[in-house]
Amino acid sequence: MERNIGRVPWNKGLKTGPLSQETKMKLSKIHKGKPKPKTITQRLKQSESMIGKTTAEKNGMWIGGNGDWWAKELKKIYKDCVLCKSTKNLHCHHRDGDRSNNIRENFIIICGSCHRFWHDGCRIQIN
């Protein structure tokens, strides 16, 4: 408990209490146009709206579709990456890059490393 002896707190001598009119004006200019923080009731309402949605639907990047069903089915059939034969961290990849094209022939199972390699621009020929 003796560690703070001789140290001056960062706020020692600073004015506390109600803000001056000048300070209020400065703050209002800074925050002008910014959204106000959500209230507790707004946050609860948003949380309730997410109940029953899949993980994909909760993601802001999700554009719709039913690819999750095919991904689960293909992962049951194919147990390894079609490129490197890894069995860990398997992803379902759209061959043509169109996330709305959810026909079975458009999907392949690849591991996370190969998937990242693919999307980084290093296209690999997949039969």
Q: How far is residue 106's CA from residue 70's CA, in Å, rounded to a whole number?
A: 10
Is 30 part of any domain? Answer: no
Is 92 part of any domain? Answer: yes
Q: What pLDDT score was predicted for residue 44?
A: 77
Is 8 part of any domain? Answer: no
**Domain tally, the chain:** 1
With b meaning 16 or more CB within 10 Å and e meaning fewer, what string describes 35-51? eeeeeeeeeeeeeeeee
pLDDT digits (tens, 9 = 90+) for 32-77: 777 777 788 877 777 777 676 666 566 665 656 555 666 677 777 7
Is 32 part of any domain? Answer: no
Is 29 part of any domain? Answer: no
Least confident range from 24-28, 31-35, 105-109: namely 31-35
Is 79 part of any domain? Answer: yes
Q: What pLDDT score was predicted for residue 58?
A: 61
pTM of the model: 0.42
pLDDT digits (tens, 9 = 90+) for 67-81: 566 667 777 778 888
Is 25 part of any domain? Answer: no
Is 51 part of any domain? Answer: yes
> How many DSSP H helices and E strands does the chain contain?
5, 2
The domain of 91 spans 40-119
